[in-house]
C-alpha cells in the first residue's frame, strides 16, 4: 500500500485529491499538507507545510514514512502574472524541494503541468504531445521548466517522476483561485445564484477543460501505470473537451432556459487564453496508460448544476 504525502492539499485539486487517495489507499496512508490550516474537521492526517521550506518537507515525509509525493502547491496563471517573482520562487522553489525530497527518500513523484506550458507559437489545433513550447507567461515558463526538471530527475537519478498537462479543471467542491480557465467554474455558481454571468473571456476563445472526477482518476491511473509502457512519463497531454464561452452558456441554458450571458473581457486573462492551444491531442496518454475521460460538456453541466444546487441551498 502506498504512503502518500500531498502538498497544496487545500487547493482546487488537492482538496478533492486527498479524498480520492484516502478512498483508494486508506485514510491513514495519505498525509495532507498545506501552508494554511483547514477550516473545519480534517478527514485524516494533516500538517502545516510551506513548500519553500525543503527541510520541513523532508522531515514530514520521513516522519510519515511516505514512499510517494504528490506536489500540487502552485500559483495559477493569472495570479502568477500579477507577481512573477513570487510565482517563480513558489512554483520553482516548491517543485525543486519536492523533487529533492523524492530523490533523498527514493519516492514516486507526481506533479501537474498545464496547457499553460504552451505558447502562441505552439500549434493551436490537436496540439501534439511533443511540440514547440515557448510560453509567454511566468506560469508557462514555470511549467515548462518543471516538465524538464521532472524529466531530468528521472534520467539523472532514476526517480519515478510522472505528470500530466491539465487543462482547465471544473469542480463544485473547491473553487480555483487565480486561473485563466476559472470562468468555466464561476459561470455555474452565477447561473444558479443570479441566472446570469459576465464572462471575462471573450466569445470564440476555445480552451481545453476537464471535470474534476476525470482529473483525479487520471492521476491515480497514471501513478498505477506499468512504468515499462511510459515513453513520456511527465507532462502527458490530457483533455476531456474543448469549448468557448457561448457553448458552456448554451449547455447551461438546457437546464436554466432564462440564463443570460454577457461579456466584459479582462485583457490580461484574455491575453493568456489567446496564447494557449484551442484543443490538445491526448493520444500519448491514451496509448501509454489508457487515459479516458467520462464527462463531456453536457454530462459535466448536468452533474455540476445538480451538485451545486445542493451545495448552495
**For ligand AKB, how many residues bind (rule: CB under 6 A)?**
13
Q: What is the H or E stretch that residue 33 is in?
A: strand 30-34
Return the range that interacts with ligand AKB (CB under 6 A); candidates 29-37, 60-68, 162-170, 186-194.
162-170
Cα distances (angstroms) measured from residue 262 to each of 183, 193, 200: 12, 16, 9
**Residue with smaller CB distance to ligand AKB, 134 or 155:** 134
The nearer residue to ligand AKB, 54 or 112, going by C-beta atoms, is 112
Sign (positive or negative) of CA dihedral 218, 224, 228, 234: positive
Cβ at position 174, least distance to ligand AKB in Å: 13
Please give the biggest Cα pair distance in the chain.
57
Task: Tell me the closest approach of the beta carbon of residue 47 to ligand AKB, in angstroms.
Answer: 26
Which among 305, 219, 213 is positioned nearest to 255, based on CA atoms?
305
Q: Does 181 bind ligand AKB (CB under 6 A)?
A: yes
Q: Does 245 bind ligand AKB (CB under 6 A)?
A: no
> Residue 54, interface with ligand AKB (CB under 6 A)?
no
Options 8, 94, 116, 282; binder of ligand AKB; rule CB under 6 A = 116
Q: Does residue 180 bind ligand AKB (CB under 6 A)?
A: yes
* Sole binder of ligand AKB in the list 168, 245, 277, 282 (CB under 6 A): 168
d(CA 284, CA 40): 40
All residues at 6 or more sequence positions from 45 whose CB lies less than 8 Å from its CB, including other chains: 27, 28, 30, 31, 32, 64
Interface residue with ligand AKB, options 13, 61, 76, 252 (CB under 6 A) = 76
Dihedral over Cα of 74, 75, 76, 77: its sign: negative
Told to check if 179 binds ligand AKB by CB under 6 A, we report yes
Q: Which residues bind ligand AKB (CB under 6 A)?
A: 76-77, 114-116, 139, 166-168, 176, 179-181
Amino acid at each position: 500500500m502506498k504512503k502518500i504525502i500531498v502538498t497544496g492539499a487545500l487547493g482546487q485539486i488537492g482538496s478533492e485529491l486527498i479524498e480520492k487517495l484516502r478512498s483508494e489507499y486508506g485514510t491513514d496512508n495519505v498525509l495532507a499538507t498545506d501552508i494554511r490550516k483547514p477550516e473545519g474537521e480534517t478527514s485524516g492526517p494533516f500538517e502545516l507545510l510551506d513548500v519553500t521550506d525543503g527541510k520541513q518537507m523532508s522531515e514530514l515525509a520521513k516522519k510519515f514514512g511516505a514512499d510517494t509525493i504528490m506536489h500540487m502547491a502552485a500559483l495559477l496563471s493569472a495570479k502568477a502574472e500579477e507577481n512573477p517573482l513570487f510565482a517563480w520562487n513558489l512554483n520553482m522553489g516548491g517543485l525543486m524541494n519536492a523533487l529533492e525530497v523524492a530523490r533523498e527518500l527514493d519516492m514516486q513523484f507526481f506533479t501537474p503541468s498545464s496547457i499553460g506550458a504552451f505558447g502562441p507559437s505552439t500549434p493551436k489545433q490537436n496540439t501534439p504531445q511533443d511540440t514547440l513550447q515557448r510560453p509567454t507567461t511566468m506560469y508557462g515558463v514555470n511549467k515548462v521548466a518543471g516538465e524538464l526538471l521532472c524529466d531530468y530527475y528521472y534520467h539523472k537519478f532514476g526517480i519515478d517522476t510522472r505528470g500530466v498537462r491539465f487543462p482547465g479543471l471544473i469542480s463544485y467542491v473547491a473553487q480555483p483561485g487565480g486561473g485563466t480557465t476559472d470562468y468555466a467554474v464561476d459561470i455555474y455558481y452565477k447561473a444558479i445564484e443570479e441566472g446570469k454571468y459576465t464572462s471575462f473571456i471573450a466569445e470564440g476563445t476555445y480552451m481545453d477543460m476537464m471535470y474534476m472526477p476525470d482529473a483525479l482518476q487520471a492521476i491515480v491511473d497514471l501513478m498505477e501505470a506499468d512504468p515499462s509502457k511510459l515513453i513520456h512519463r511527465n507532462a502527458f497531454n490530457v483533455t476531456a473537451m474543448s469549448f468557448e464561452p457561448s457553448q458552456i452558456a448554451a449547455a447551461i441554458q438546457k437546464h436554466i432556459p432564462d440564463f443570460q450571458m454577457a461579456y466584459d473581457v479582462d485583457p490580461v486573462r484574455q491575453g493568456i487564453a489567446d496564447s494557449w492551444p484551442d484543443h490538445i491531442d491526448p493520444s500519448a496518454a491514451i496509448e501509454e496508460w489508457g487515459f479516458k475521460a467520462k464527462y463531456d460538456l453536457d454530462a459535466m453541466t448536468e452533474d455540476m448544476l445538480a451538485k451545486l444546487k445542493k451545495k448552495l441551498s
